[in-house]
Amino acid sequence: MKPESLLFQRRRTLLTEELDVIPWLKLLTVDERQRAVEDLKITDALPGDYLCRTGRPVTYWFGVVDGLLKMSSDNAEGQTMTFTGVPPGGWFGEGTALKREAYRYNIQALRKSLVAGLHVDTFHWLLDHSIGFNRFVMNQLNERLGQFIAAREIDRMTNPNIRVARSLAALFNPVLYPGLGTVLRITQQELAYLVGLSRQRVNEALTTLAAAGAIEVEYGGLRVTDLQALRSRIF
């Protein structure tokens, strides 16, 4: 049985506490929210599972309730370019859902994750009926454009400290990931997968960033103490 089939079989309705962390639900009217909640489903994605694959048709608009995903694409030479990680609170794929086209990227779970999905038909119904939902999606698209431009710049950087700093800054984007706060649960190996460096080199970069006062390394994660420094400083 294909992993995608297992993901579909494991889907269920969301619990109240899971609905509470979905940012765009708060922007809907009572009737709009009811329509969305009736359609929303959530599934357990295991490490390595693909939520989306390049070339597959879009069926859902996805969001991370808990865990960590990786967005990437493969070129003709078989090389993988990672665009970004998707931490808790992040919803993605709105551009693909809008155009009802095939995915141009892969979304893979880096650890066990809870991923919610809204069917693309309900996504379009909300676009047709909800001003609040439209504003949310518009802000997502605008912020995502800047994120992808930054991802291309990061991919060409040779200074590993700056690569790690800018990649961390992208993960703490308050518009795309409003529920994240200042602490991200991530291992050095997971961050290495996202940045495209070895775990040892990521460890050295985190030590440099911590010494500069931009982050604090905690057990099982990172706390950002100076987001602007991660975005703009040369380390």
Query: For the chain, what is the domain count?
Result: 2
| pLDDT value, residue 44 | 95
CATH number for position 105:
2.60.120.10
Instruction: Give the residue numbers spanning the domain of 203.
Output: 159-232
* 92/96 Cα distance (integer angstroms): 9
Q: What is the pTM of this model?
A: 0.87
Is 135 in the same domain as 174? no
pLDDT, tens only, 152-210: 777 677 789 999 999 899 899 888 998 788 899 999 999 998 888 999 999 999 999 99
Give the strands of the sheet with 215-218, arranged side by side: 183-184, 221-224, 215-218
Look up tokens 């551009």; give the residue: 95
Q: Name the domain boundary from 121, 136, 152.
A: 152
Q: Strands (DSSP E) along 34-112, which ranges?
A: 41-45, 50-52, 60-66, 69-74, 80-86, 91-92, 106-109
Point out which residues pair with 84 in neighbouring strands.
71
Is 135 in the same domain as 50? yes
- Under DSSP, the state recorded for 57 is B
- The answer to whether 202 and 209 are in contact (CB under 8 A) is no
Is 195 in the same domain as 144? no
Of the candidates 103, 86, 108, the one whose C-alpha atom is nearest the C-alpha of residue 186 is 86
Is 113 in the same domain as 176? no
Is 139 in the same domain as 167? no
Is 177 in the same domain as 142? no
- The answer to whether 83 and 136 are in contact (CB under 8 A) is no
pLDDT, tens only, 75-130: 666 667 777 889 999 999 999 999 999 999 999 999 999 999 999 999 999 999 99
Is 183 in the same domain as 145? no
Q: 168: helix, coil or strand?
A: helix
